[in-house]
């Protein structure tokens, strides 16, 4: 999700200036540069070949080339470990696209592995939304800038920013954004990592400790999907759309020269910092062979076909393709719709869609954040009015607990045990056949402002596994079930209590919840 402190600064300045303008691609379109063809050899090429052999044996007529193998990355620890495995296995290319890329332990180890891959001669492309380069703390800023400089300086790494401000200070960037708020309010929210054009990870996780279970205060419950096969080429096509758009800017020669001059000392400092990180003690700090893990992986994959969809960055703005896909696909559900989405702000048409489905006998279960588990109270401020209408429409509604039972085993990564858990997942299961996983929230920002991407996967096995995960997360030990009592009032139930006040984790949250009601819904 957005980082609220950054958007609050930008929004406040925009109110002061009152300046808006047309939304256009801010830079010249760079020379086209495409993803490399699928690597002809290497661990991932061998793994895909084995998947295709298996798929052909099951369905020799319909398979060839369109089937991929999929694995859900439910646990935070697995999400980071498999990212490291793919990067370490790279022989030809790594393309990575993220909304946020933090200067913390997660950013440190990912960057070190990208540099090691580049050292081996692998072509690495890194695309980050410019909002994602805003620092959260002075210490993180120093490390983040050092990592960025090392990537810029490396001859085998290309680095680009999406919808960037040329002013790099936080205050200066905030002022720039305010001067052209409509322009800078459009962000690249996509998240993907694609290696050798053979394997990819798509989902909700950014590069940051709170997404990998390594933050000691607040960790996100999130989910990704790893795919080996045709889905990687589909994700590469999405990456290239953004990489070659007029929305990106790359470092100039002066920046490269400055980065190169400091690279040797910064690389040594980064390696020392990596060795000092206690959060990473469960991970190999240097590249290694993952042959045994890849061999075991084959037995756990679900086979299926896929389509990777995205909003498209164009010269006159960012398309709303995913919003259109969702609003045309959801009404076609026949039996069951399971939804987990961290940032949910419906509207009248969305509630009408739910009512139409339930009238046709569709079982709808929706899982989202409670105020207690929220990292963005502004979203709850505009969501809460829709609780009763969704329930009246016939949907079942569940809200994540900040003290969920799954926190220790699924969300946190030992030795870390965060104080709170929040929900960040964006996934759906349609009729126990289609699994949808990606970056798209069900709110106005995702629908009309940000670019988003999702993987739509036709696999009954994967859909069933994702369904069981969603239902587990909805269980009373992990979530509140929101209901209407006999008087039509809201109540929250879990395995220990029933209350008629929305759950909170501290006294500040109700104040923030009230305050953000004063700001327009469309910004969230």
Pull the structure tokens for residue 63: 């398979």
Query: Are 356 and 458 in the same domain?
Result: yes
pLDDT, residue 4, reads 47
> E strand or H helix at 368, and its extent?
strand 363-369
Query: Are 268 and 364 in the same domain?
Result: no
d(CA 206, CA 190): 9
Nearest one of 484, 501, 485 to 371, comparing CA atoms: 501
Query: Are 438 and 493 in the same domain?
Result: yes
pLDDT, residue 56, reads 74
Tens digit of pLDDT for each residue in 379-420? 999 999 999 999 999 999 999 999 999 999 999 999 999 999
Residue 291 has pLDDT above 50, yes or no: yes
307, part of any domain: no
Q: Residue written as tokens 């900040």?
A: 402
Pull the structure tokens for residue 232: 């990687």
Residue 11 has pLDDT above 80, yes or no: no
Instruction: Give the CATH number for residue 373.
Output: 3.30.870.10
d(CA 401, CA 492): 11
- Give the Å distances, CA to CA, from 400 to 30, 193, 367, 403, 435: 43, 28, 7, 9, 21
Which of 171-185, 250-264, 297-311 comes out lowest in average pLDDT?
171-185
pLDDT, residue 119, reads 98
132, part of any domain: yes
> E strand or H helix at 243, and its extent?
helix 230-243
d(CA 221, CA 455): 19
Tens digit of pLDDT for each residue in 17-46? 445 568 999 999 999 999 999 999 999 999
Q: Which residue has the higher pLDDT, 64 or 351?
A: 351
Tens digit of pLDDT for each residue in 184-237? 889 999 999 999 999 999 999 999 999 999 999 999 999 999 999 999 999 999
Beta strand residue intervals within 230-287, DSSP E: 248-249
Domain limit, last residue, from 268, 299, 330 = 299
Residue 94 has pLDDT above 60, yes or no: yes
Query: Are 284 and 317 in the same domain?
Result: no
Residue 428 has pLDDT above 50, yes or no: yes
pLDDT, residue 140, reads 73
89, part of any domain: yes
Domain limit, last residue, from 231, 265, 299 = 299
pLDDT, residue 15, reads 45
Q: Please report the DSSP string for 103-163 in residue order.
A: SSHHHHHHHHHHHHHHHTT-EEEEEEEGGGGS-SSHHHHHHHHHHHHHHHH-TTEEEEEES
pLDDT, residue 135, reads 62
DSSP state of 252: -
305, part of any domain: no
- Give the percent of the chain with pLDDT over 90: 82
The sign one gets for the Cα dihedral 144, 150, 156, 158 is: positive
Q: What is the dihedral of CA 139, 203, 186, 145, to 10 degrees?
A: 20
* Residue range(s) defining the domain that contains residue 474: 312-523
Pull the structure tokens for residue 512: 């923030």
Domain limit, last residue, from 243, 273, 299 = 299
Q: Cβ(116)–Cβ(287) under 8 Å?
A: yes
Tens digit of pLDDT for each residue in 509-518? 999 998 988 8
Which of 48-52, 136-140, 145-149, 321-325 comes out lowest in average pLDDT?
136-140
210, part of any domain: yes
pLDDT, residue 178, reads 77
d(CA 172, CA 264): 30
Number of domains in the chain: 2
Residue 97 has pLDDT above 70, yes or no: yes
Query: Are 64 and 130 in the same domain?
Result: yes
Spatial CB neighbours of 206, under 8 Å, sequence gap ≥ 6: 98, 99, 100, 101, 102, 132, 191
Count CB atoms within 10 A of the CB of residue 257.
12
Query: Are 236 and 180 in the same domain?
Result: yes
Query: Are 174 and 238 in the same domain?
Result: yes
Query: Are 292 and 321 in the same domain?
Result: no
Nearest one of 449, 439, 456 to 192, comparing CA atoms: 439
**Whole-prediction pTM:** 0.95
> Cα–Cα–Cα angle for 84, 85, 89, nearest 5°?
115
174, part of any domain: yes
> E strand or H helix at 242, and its extent?
helix 230-243
Query: Are 388 and 440 in the same domain?
Result: yes
Q: Cβ(156)–Cβ(123) under 8 Å?
A: yes
Tens digit of pLDDT for each residue in 252-283? 899 899 999 999 999 999 999 999 999 999 99
Tens digit of pLDDT for each residue in 367-383? 999 999 999 999 999 99
Kindly calculate the radius of gyration of the chain based on its CA atoms and give it in whole angstroms: 22
356, part of any domain: yes
Residue 132 has pLDDT above 80, yes or no: no
pLDDT, residue 171, reads 77
pLDDT, residue 9, reads 45
pLDDT, residue 67, reads 92
| pLDDT bracket for residue 80 (50, 70, 90) | very high
DSSP state of 495: S
pLDDT, residue 177, reads 77
Query: Are 44 and 91 in the same domain?
Result: yes
Task: Please give the mean pLDDT across all residues of the chain.
Answer: 92
Query: Are 372 and 292 in the same domain?
Result: no
Query: Are 328 and 197 in the same domain?
Result: no
């Amino acid at each position: 999700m957005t980082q609220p402190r950054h958007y609050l600064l930008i929004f406040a300045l925009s109110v002061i200036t009152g300046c808006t303008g047309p939304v256009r691609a801010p830079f010249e379109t760079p020379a086209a540069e495409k993803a490399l063809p699928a690597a002809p050899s290497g661990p991932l090429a061998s793994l895909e070949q084995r998947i295709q052999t298996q798929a052909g044996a099951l369905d020799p007529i319909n398979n060839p080339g369109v089937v991929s193998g999929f694995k859900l990355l439910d646990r935070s620890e697995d999400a980071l470990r498999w990212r490291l495995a793919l990067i370490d296995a790279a022989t030809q290319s790594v393309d990575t696209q993220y909304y946020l890329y933090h200067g913390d332990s997660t950013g440190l180890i990912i960057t070190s592995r990208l540099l090691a891959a580049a050292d081996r001669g692998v072509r690495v492309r890194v695309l980050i939304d410019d909002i994602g380069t805003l620092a959260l703390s002075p210490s993180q800023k120093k490390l983040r800038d050092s990592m960025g400089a090392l990537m810029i300086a490396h001859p085998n790494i290309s680095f680009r920013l999406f919808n960037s401000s040329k002013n790099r200070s936080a205050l200066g960037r905030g002022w720039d954004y305010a001067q052209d708020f409509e322009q800078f309010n459009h962000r690249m929210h996509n998240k993907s990592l694609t290696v050798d054009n053979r394997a990819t990870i798509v989902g909700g996780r950014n590069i940051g400790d709170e997404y990998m279970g390594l933050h000691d205060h607040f960790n996100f419950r999130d989910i990704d999907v790893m795919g080996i096969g045709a889905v990687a080429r589909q994700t590469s096509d999405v990456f290239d759309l953004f990489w070659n758009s007029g929305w990106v800017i790359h470092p100039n020669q002066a920046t490269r020269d400055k980065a190169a001059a400091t690279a040797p000392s910064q690389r040594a400092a980064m390696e020392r910092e990596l060795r000092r990180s206690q959060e990473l003690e469960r991970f190999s700090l240097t590249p290694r062979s993952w042959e045994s893990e890849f061999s075991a992986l084959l037995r756990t994959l679900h086979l299926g076909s896929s389509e990777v969809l995205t909003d498209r960055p164009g010269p006159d703005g960012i398309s709303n393709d995913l919003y259109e896909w969702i609003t045309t696909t959801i009404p076609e559900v026949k039996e069951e719709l399971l939804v987990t989405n961290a940032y949910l702000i419906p509207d009248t048409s969305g509630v009408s869609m739910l009512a139409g489905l339930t009238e046709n006998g569709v079982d709808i279960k929706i899982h989202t954040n409670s105020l207690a588990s929220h990292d963005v109270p502004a979203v709850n401020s505009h969501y809460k009015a829709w609780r009763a209408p969704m329930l009246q429409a016939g949907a079942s509604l569940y809200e994540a607990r900040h003290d969920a039972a799954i926190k220790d085993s699924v969300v946190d990564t030992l030795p870390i045990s965060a104080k709170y858990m929040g929900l960040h997942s964006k996934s759906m299961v349609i009729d126990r056949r289609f699994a949808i996983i990606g970056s798209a929230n069900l709110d106005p920002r995702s629908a009309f402002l940000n670019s988003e991407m999702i993987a739509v996967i036709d696999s009954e096995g994967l859909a069933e596994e994702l369904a069981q995960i969603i239902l587990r997360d909805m269980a009373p030990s992990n979530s509140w079930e929101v209901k209407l009592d006999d008087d039509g009032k809201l109540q929250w139930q879990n395995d220990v209590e029933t209350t008629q006040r929305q759950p909170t984790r501290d006294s500040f949250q109700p104040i923030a919840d009230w305050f953000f009601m004063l700001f327009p819904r469309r910004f969230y």
